[in-house]
Amino acid sequence: MHSLAHPTAAPELLPGAVWLVGAGPGDPGLLTLHAVRAIRAADVVLYDALINTEILAEARPDARLVCVGRRKGNAPTAQDEIVRLMIEHARQGARVVRLKGGDPCMFGRGGEEAAALRDAHIPFRIVPGVTAGIGGLAYAGIAATHRDANAAVTFLTGHQTGGALPGDLDWDALARNDNALVVYMGVSALDRIVPELLAHGRDASTPVAIVAQATTPSQRVVTTTLGEAIFAARRAKIETPALIVIGRIADPALATPWFEPQQDERAARITDRSLLAAFTA
């Protein structure tokens, strides 16, 4: 693995530092080399509920692994408590990894946490990850941009702090043209998102894909249309996490599905830890 990285491009997680690390959408093979090295070096890993816990097997046996996300009905650790923990461990001289699903800065508060570390004069690094809205789509055979479909793609969240739809979304702009929308945290807000788009003029026949548990052995893709999406999601009993893709990129005619773990026993091995070991040996 070291041979893959240029010597000067292989930074080291040092005592007293915090790295904000993206873990990707689930498949451990989508971790970056920086991410794997940091997890292996860490004294403390503060991880979100969304990450694939197989990844934690890469941590040292004596590392402290702390779940700060919502787990089995437990309330998630408050954001200021997470920041406090990062800073406290770093000040005690620990090598700290703050591990987040996907990319730390895509609906992941990576920007806020980096600012808090800067303000506390803690050395930090941001290790980008494969965000679900791109990598998860790829595992559904959906290209985030397709020459025949869209010249722009908008990532939006269906869920603000408190659970409401963000108030500052410009539904006119989102509905107006053929651009693709990729909605994070959107399943429970689908019954508000769909009527807004229809009311602002988006065509009911617009293709929609719902990509659930992308890149994992439980991945499911439901293709439907904007007019049918609420019903289709209910009927399919979509399990989160899931992305909602709206626009021509979601048209099955443009998609090239290749990862179908439910049908393909071999693909289920993709999260086998030995695979990660093979990647990084």
Per CB under 6 A, residues contacting ligand SAH are 25-26, 50, 100-103, 106-108, 131-132, 136, 184-185, 211-215, 240-243
Cβ proximity to ligand SAH: between 90 and 156 the closer is 156
Six token digits for residue 74: 């437990």
Cβ proximity to ligand SAH: between 16 and 76 the closer is 76
């005690």: which residue's tokens?
92
H or E element, residue 86: helix 79-91
Q: Please, what is the minimum distance in Å from the beta carbon of residue 271 to ligand SAH?
A: 11
Three-state SS letters, 222-271: EEEECCCHHHHHHHCCCCCCEEEEECHHHCCCCCCCCCCCCCCHHHHHHH
Cβ proximity to ligand SAH: between 215 and 224 the closer is 215
What is the chain's Cα-based Rg?
Answer: 20
Cβ proximity to ligand SAH: between 157 and 225 the closer is 157
Cβ proximity to ligand SAH: between 50 and 94 the closer is 50
Q: Please, what is the minimum distance in Å from the beta carbon of residue 93 to ligand SAH?
A: 28
Q: Please, what is the minimum distance in Å from the beta carbon of residue 213 to ligand SAH?
A: 5
Q: Please, what is the minimum distance in Å from the beta carbon of residue 185 to ligand SAH?
A: 4
Cβ proximity to ligand SAH: between 34 and 94 the closer is 34
Q: Please, what is the minimum distance in Å from the beta carbon of residue 184 to ligand SAH?
A: 4
* DSSP-H helix ranges across 145-246: 171-176, 190-199, 229-235
How far is 66 from 77, CA to CA, in rounded Å?
A: 10
- Cβ(46)–Cβ(96) below 8 Å: yes
H or E element, residue 126: strand 124-127
DSSP 132: I
Q: Please, what is the minimum distance in Å from the beta carbon of residue 90 to ligand SAH?
A: 22
H or E element, residue 99: strand 96-100
Q: Please, what is the minimum distance in Å from the beta carbon of residue 23 to ligand SAH?
A: 9
Could you tell me which of 61, 31, 33 has the C-alpha nearest to residue 45? 61
Cβ proximity to ligand SAH: between 109 and 202 the closer is 109
- Residue with the closest Cβ to ligand SAH? 102
Q: Please, what is the minimum distance in Å from the beta carbon of residue 261 to ligand SAH?
A: 12
Q: DSSP string spanning 3-15? A: GGS-GGG-----T
Cβ proximity to ligand SAH: between 95 and 100 the closer is 100
How far is 134 from 149, CA to CA, in rounded Å?
A: 16
